[in-house]
Amino acid sequence: MKGKIIDFRLRPPTAPYKGFFPEGIVRFANFRFMVDTPESYEKSLEGEAGEKDEEALRLLYQEMDRAGIRYGVTNGRHSHLLGLSCHVHDEYVAEMEKHSEGRLLGLAGVDGSKPISEIVNDIDKAIKELELKGVCIEPGLFEKPLYADDETLMPIYEKCNELEVPILFMTGPFAGPDLSYTDPVRFQHVAETFPNLPIVLGHGAYPYVNEAIGVALKCSAIGSGGVFLSPDVYVFAAGGDLYVKGIQWLSDRFLFASAYPFGNCEQLVERTLALPLDEEAMARYLYENAEDLLGL
């Protein structure tokens, strides 16, 4: 299966992303998930901001090759967390995809500070003109946080539904001011309103593991879209063994990701390949479901 893997959440070691992933936070995450800090991220720390981007990316692609990762999915973002801000514009993502030697696939980001009509227009441009593959939204990390099922966000989902592209939510312990922002029922409401819209929960809505699996199951029966879980490093967190059971039981609803730089691509792939999954479930998790969602 190596050489076919699609990493659905990979934040490259370049200056715009690193403002949100300073060294202390990355090393804390690497320690918690018991992985080595990636060499490519280490290289990116040398010199001034952006100075080592090209070399760090070269090392990242080599790490992806050794791990057997064919594509990494990265995204634009406009997020605020723990006093940090990150602004990665769609044009930058499209340029990275273009110059990535075919290794990166881009998703548009949503800037929650803009009027909804402008956001909708930005999404239209990102998909039709920049040829990005989908949209990423982090409403709990807006300057004024919103729940995913807030009525003001519905035109965004309607546009994604119209364009027939998936939407990736950031969920998990750090997806908002408190854990209520990652409650899976919020995303269930969106899925039931737009049953043909593929919805991906990055970080798998951890720690609501059972609830997230239940929502993915229920929403798989309501239309051609539904909810997909991408638990990435949280498969290896406390309680993550339930994700493994979910992958085997509901194999068409899970997507592999490393959450780089929080996860080390090579080590995460090796640990994933050692999980007690049959060949069919493993293939769907590592690449087949992502291929279907991204139209590859």
Partners of 6 in beta bridges: 71
For residue 16 the two structure tokens come to: 């715009």
- pLDDT of 47 reads 67
Q: In 10 A of CB 157, how many CB atoms?
A: 20
Residues ≥6 apart with Cβ < 8 Å to 145 = 139, 176, 177, 181
Q: What does the mean pLDDT of the chain come to? A: 93
* pLDDT less than 70: residues of the chain: 47-51, 82
Q: 221: which DSSP letter?
A: T
- pLDDT of 48 reads 64
- pLDDT of 82 reads 67
Partners of 198 in beta bridges: 226
Instruction: Fill in the amino acid letter for 41.
Output: Y
Which helix (H) or strand (E) element contains residue 40? helix 39-44
- pLDDT of 265 reads 93
- pLDDT of 75 reads 95
β-strand 198-202 against 226-230: which pairing, if any?
Answer: parallel
For residue 180 the two structure tokens come to: 């209520």
Tell me the backbone φ, ψ of residue 198, rounded to 5 degrees.
-70, 125
Alpha-carbon gap, residue 228 to 157, rounded angstroms: 16
Write out pLDDT tens, residues 35-87: 888 888 888 888 666 667 888 899 999 999 999 999 999 999 888 876 777 88
DSSP string, 235-291: GGSTTTHHHHHHHHHSGGGB-----BTSS-HHHHHHHHHTSS--HHHHHIIIIIHHH
Cis status of the peptide bond prior to 166, with omega within 30 of 0: no
- pLDDT of 44 reads 83
Q: Which domains does the chain have, with CATH numbers?
A: 5-294 (3.20.20.140)
Tell me the backbone φ, ψ of residue 142, rounded to 5 degrees.
-65, 160
Q: 233: which DSSP letter?
A: G
Alpha-carbon gap, residue 194 to 129, rounded angstroms: 24
The residue among 206, 204, 226 whose CA lies nearest residue 216 is 226
- pLDDT of 64 reads 96
Q: Dihedral of the CA atoms 160, 166, 167, 171 (nearest 10)?
A: 160
- pLDDT of 50 reads 63
Strand ordering across the sheet containing 69-75: 5-7, 69-75, 104-109, 135-137, 167-170, 198-202, 226-230
Are the C-beta atoms of residues 140 and 177 closer than 8 Å to each other?
A: yes
